[in-house]
Amino acid sequence: MTPFFGNLLIRVNAGFLILASAGGLATDIAGSFFGRGAEAILLADAPGTGIGFIEAHGLALIIGVTLSRIAYSRTWHAFLAAVHMLLGTANLLFWQFFIAADVLVVGYVTTAAHFLFVVAHLAALAGTARLAASPR
């Protein structure tokens, strides 16, 4: 993968993380502090559990904003593959959240996107390694 397309992938990834995490963070705050929205039913009896939601979405937002500002390096593909593997796997392990909050569509879309980004970043990493190893 050329640096142009690798950089484009990282910028698209940053946009996804910013949008998805901002939406998640808004939902987390509404459910945790105001008893409203999709998470309200989950947090009504245990409002302190919202800390995990807020931390996860807040960190994803910070990563997204950081990625939108960084200089391109192929090593970011390994970092982002790991980030999305963690986020996608967490979604699968806690799938009951999406069912209980009645937000299955959000679960399907975000989880699929996480694993698509894993594949894309691993492919980009492999492609840049081949590009670097090829004789000029």
Sequential DSSP letters for 2-64: -HHHHHHHHHHHHHHHHHHHHHHHHHHHHHHHHS-STTHHHHSS-GGGHHHHHHHHHHHHHHH
What is the Cα–Cα distance from 100 to 94, expressed in whole angstroms? 10
Q: How confident is the model at residue 136 (pLDDT cuts 50, 70, 90)?
A: low
- Per-residue pLDDT of 43-68, as tens digits, reads 888 878 899 999 999 999 999 999 99
* 15 has a pLDDT exceeding 60: yes
pTM given for the model: 0.88
Sequence ranges of the domains in the chain: 3-133
Distance (Å, whole) CA 130 – CA 136: 12
Cα distance between residue 11 and residue 16, in whole Å: 9
